[in-house]
Structure 1
């Protein structure tokens, strides 16, 4: 692990304009600690916004919660919206501090957390590094480098752009019974090890297929198997068991969500993995001609598959 002093940093001069903005947002706050919190958060967001624009990323500063006067009074928030990527939390770090503190209220709905350290007279801000995951305290020497940060943002931008441009392909699950299986769906023996195979299902399984799903990018990617088991139609309905298994591990990461939505996008069923879960599953029935979505989510990453019976 490199010392933070050995890593690339980026310094931003805090102009009179920057300090005036911070003073304006903290003006009228009677609690001195809250007043300082808003002042520092505003400067941190200003510095990161300048840095990202220099690096070629489009930001939406005015659309961020850190620019909402009511929100910043109620919460310790220093977010910056990055277009086509998401919310980045910009956390201020004072001189001679060895940790970056992240308040619990911003532990979700963030693509990452970036540490911004000020000099003693608040004339300069230094962007030190980032972490993709929240914790109450992150030692500065454990921050990932700005080189990795730029790669991370670029990968998120590419992934999000691809999701916007490409709609999921409709899986004709009813055709599976006739032997026409969509490309990319494999027998589960090719995806899972023998110890993971074979769970109880209330109906006799006619066909089982699976598909590898990647959630995340290189720095924090996890791979899971989406397994779909179907029965023979009875009275115009098919029983369906859908499961999510880890690939390359014995247990799923905590917080993997499997959900079912109907054709209109309304939630039908959902389940979320807990600590040490080997798999998660949902069982339901669908009528012939019905459409539904299976969605797998982990943190800010989501994969959707659309099916038609």
Structure 2
């Protein structure tokens, strides 16, 4: 029996470093006060340019000068190598060394990123190798955890169709923070009875609830369902209790075999539930912290809807 195992070397993708990238790297590094900072900014710039060129070749619209890495003030004070993708968000492009088996991620870029790409720079041969990417990082990332650059393309295509819902903005009550399609529970459900049933603790203080109609097409046979998100922030730390529900909107019970799935920051299944013919709702609960990312899938037979969240 033969196994095709993915290794760090097998997923790597080598690309040329362009003359334009080298010019940017020289220009930005000359503005720095120390040799160490000059080297860091040069490598960051080459990594960003390499990822930018790769994504442009793959058909993505990027804004090379829109990130913090292109801002001279931010660049001087912080270790940033971000690339802005139009309509998607910021991707961090981290330069690494060939001998490294663990990669350090600057603390200042652990939030507000749609992913992290690790780039090995070989300036002597004017080549850069995309070692792989990861959707969410900690301060240290093991090289064996990286996913192939091709998987990055799939993830970015998914994010283009699925805007990330900023739950932290719901918690702070910012105007305009509610993402399009999300409504109050009262405006979502057709009767007060359905609205009350969708949450089990309507009098609990400091609880935020929003819902959204989920369109699974003809599989629902005209029976509308909604995804309800309930947030209960802790008073003592940055933890948030999250309750997810799938509820019928215009009938008493759900159709059987509707799946509610929670994905973690690596897009792996974290929790799941499935409806039966006698269920008036299905729900899942978990605790997250500010800055964490997760996905929610509502699925029936071959149809599914994915929502992406950041706490």
| TM-score normalised by structure 2 residue count | 0.60
Match of 1:234 in 2: none
Asked if residue 167 in structure 1 is aligned to residue 181 in structure 2, the reply is yes
Q: Which stretch has the larger CA shift, 111-120 or 69-78?
A: 111-120
- 2:164–2:309 Cα contact (<8 Å) kept: no
Match of 2:299 in 1: none
Asked if residue 128 in structure 1 is aligned to residue 131 in structure 2, the reply is yes
Match of 2:237 in 1: none
> Deviation at 1:141?
1.8
- 2:165–2:309 Cα contact (<8 Å) kept: no
Instruction: Indicate which of 59, 66, 69 corresponds to 1:66.
Output: 69
Alpha-carbon distance between aligned partners in 1 of 2:46 and 2:84, rounded to the nearest angstrom? 15
Mark the runs of 5 or more structure 1 residues left unpaired by the alignment.
189-197, 204-208, 226-244, 258-297, 304-309
Alpha-carbon distance between aligned partners in 1 of 2:37 and 2:79, rounded to the nearest angstrom? 9
Asked if residue 219 in structure 1 is aligned to residue 267 in structure 2, the reply is yes
Asked if residue 115 in structure 1 is aligned to residue 150 in structure 2, the reply is no
Alpha-carbon distance between aligned partners in 1 of 2:42 and 2:104, rounded to the nearest angstrom? 16
Q: Which stretch has the larger CA shift, 87-96 or 165-174?
A: 165-174
> Deviation at 1:200?
10
- 1:94–1:119 Cα contact (<8 Å) kept: no
> Deviation at 1:174?
10
Q: 1:186 to 1:145 in 2, by over 3 A?
A: farther
Match of 2:296 in 1: none
> Deviation at 1:170?
5.5
Highest CA radius of gyration, 1 or 2? 1
Asked if residue 3 in structure 1 is aligned to residue 7 in structure 2, the reply is yes
> Deviation at 1:171?
4.2
Match of 2:142 in 1: 139
Asked if residue 31 in structure 1 is aligned to residue 34 in structure 2, the reply is yes
Match of 1:283 in 2: none
Alpha-carbon distance between aligned partners in 1 of 2:185 and 2:201, rounded to the nearest angstrom? 23
Q: 1:175 to 1:155 in 2, by over 3 A?
A: closer
| TM-score normalised by structure 1 residue count | 0.60
Q: 1:223 to 1:141 in 2, by over 3 A?
A: closer
- 1:10–1:51 Cα contact (<8 Å) kept: no
Query: SS at 1:252's partner residue?
Result: strand
Asked if residue 87 in structure 1 is aligned to residue 90 in structure 2, the reply is yes
Q: How does 1:218-297 map to 2 (within 5 A)?
A: 219=267, 247=284, 251-255=286-290
Q: Which stretch has the larger CA shift, 104-113 or 154-163?
A: 154-163
Alpha-carbon distance between aligned partners in 2 of 1:57 and 1:67, rounded to the nearest angstrom? 19
Q: 1:173 to 1:58 in 2, by over 3 A?
A: closer
Compute the RMSD of aligned alpha carbons: 4.0
The number of residue pairs the alignment matches comes to: 223
Match of 1:41 in 2: 44
- 1:131–1:144 Cα contact (<8 Å) kept: yes
> Deviation at 1:89?
0.3
- 2:115–2:133 Cα contact (<8 Å) kept: yes
